[in-house]
Chains A and B, each alone.
Chain A
């Protein structure tokens, strides 16, 4: 039963609030002192001034919040402000490379510095002291776990964003000639990536009316049964659209793996180097790259009327 009947069970005693408000600066000093002394304070990550300003804002918001609401619930307008503040702090701390537990411990550490003040205030009333300590700790515990969770959430968001970016980056489809496109694959292939890759490639084929699609796997370290299956599926799908797929960059390691795994690649055109693939693509589209003689040479030979061979090779 609360000692003061006028206050609800989970709201701190007005005397506590008054104490906190009056001695806010002392508490702040004690807290900052505690932080600076503690072993997990890292000067390289955060400056003393920043710590001070963060702590000051947080302490003030904390006092306002617990003065007006239920520490069990941690809901309501009063807590919205402090939650927002905590989100900001957690984001900043995450950017400064603090670990989530360090950030949470920052909030918990206020307890250590704050409790001596309560002890002084309620020296003569141990029962009330225990009650009040309980309430203040509860509030700080909640806030500590909140900041922990939000730090982790922030991190997850960053990771998801990066994954998305990587996925985008990892499937560039480049047009290397009229109606010849190339998809260079780099890194390990998983089902999600391969799915995306297949869709992109097929869309581009339709859009550019590509006759030849070169799938370059030079940058793929290993191939397992699943990846090989995806490659076969991609080749088949490309064929269904009406173009031809060439797989290039099949090195010795991958060739060995494929044979050892017993994967049947008959009917799939494979080449060792990307350049071989491009050469084949030209052949299949009945094009040829010819070496032009330099102007000086052809002029000279035309004048002299000799060196027919060279002239002929330029004009086959």
Chain B
């Protein structure tokens, strides 16, 4: 069996997954497994998947992407997919995979910015509910 080829990097609070080449189904499944393990281990609150080097996508990979996002969300982690190429976007749309519930960004820069905003928003929400609780208590 080939070595696992998808690097998963932790930068600050963000877990960055960079898919380097067109990947097969087994790698995608393994990636899902490892990403979720890393989220658990590191407690990362944000997940950024960069697929700018992916030139082709099939329905399986497309579904896996939205699955990972949904799973990460259950584990209280925000997901943003960045760098989707035009051809890939067209394929996904034609396949009816709209990646609903997944945030997207043009590149890693934008993706990190979006994640930061989301975190800030979340903190504000937490603060607000904490205040409410305090007021109620």
Contact = CB atoms under 8 A, between A and B. Distances in A.
A237 B107 contact: no
Interface stretch (A157-165, A199-207, A219-227): A199-207
B93 interface: yes
Nearest to A195: B90
Nearest to A210: B106
A242 B82 contact: yes
- Mostly, the B contact residues are mixed
A233 B98 CA distance: 9
A240 B88 CA distance: 9
A198 interface: yes
Nearest to B85: A206
A240 B104 contact: yes
A239 interface: yes
Interface string B79-94: 0011111101110111
Contacts of A211: 106, 110
Contacts of A199: 86, 90
B106 A240 contact: no
B125 to A, nearest CB: 20
A241 interface: yes
Given A206-B106, A233-B93, A241 B111 contact: no
Nearest to B103: A242
A203 B88 CA distance: 11
A239 B98 CA distance: 9
B93 A241 contact: no
B106 A203 contact: no
B64 interface: no
- Mostly, the A contact residues are helix
Contact of B105 (A203, A210, A238, A242): A242
Contacts of B94: 233
B93 A236 contact: yes
A242 B90 contact: no
A233 B84 CA distance: 15
B99 interface: yes
Contacts, number: 54
A271 interface: no
A209 interface: yes
B98 A241 contact: no
B110 A242 contact: yes
Given A202-B89, A237-B89, A240-B93, A209 B107 contact: yes
A243 B85 CA distance: 12
A240 B111 contact: no
A110 B107 CA distance: 71
Nearest to B52: A206
A199 B93 CA distance: 12
Nearest to B94: A233
Interface string B99-135: 1000011110011000000000000000000000000
A186 to B, nearest CB: 23
B93 A242 contact: no
Contacts of B83: 242
Contacts of A237: 86, 89-90, 92-93
A242 B111 contact: yes
A198 B90 contact: yes
Interface string B51-95: 000000000000000000000000000000111111011101110
Given A206-B85, A243-B106, 11 more contacts: A199-B90, A203-B86, A205-B106, A209-B106, A209-B107, A240-B81, A240-B89, A241-B86, A241-B89, A242-B84, A242-B105
Interface of A: 198-199, 202-203, 205-206, 209-211, 233, 236-243
Interface of B: 81-86, 88-90, 92-94, 98-99, 104-107, 110-111
13 contacts: A205-B106, A210-B106, A233-B94, A237-B86, A237-B92, A237-B93, A240-B81, A240-B93, A240-B104, A242-B82, A242-B84, A242-B110, A243-B106
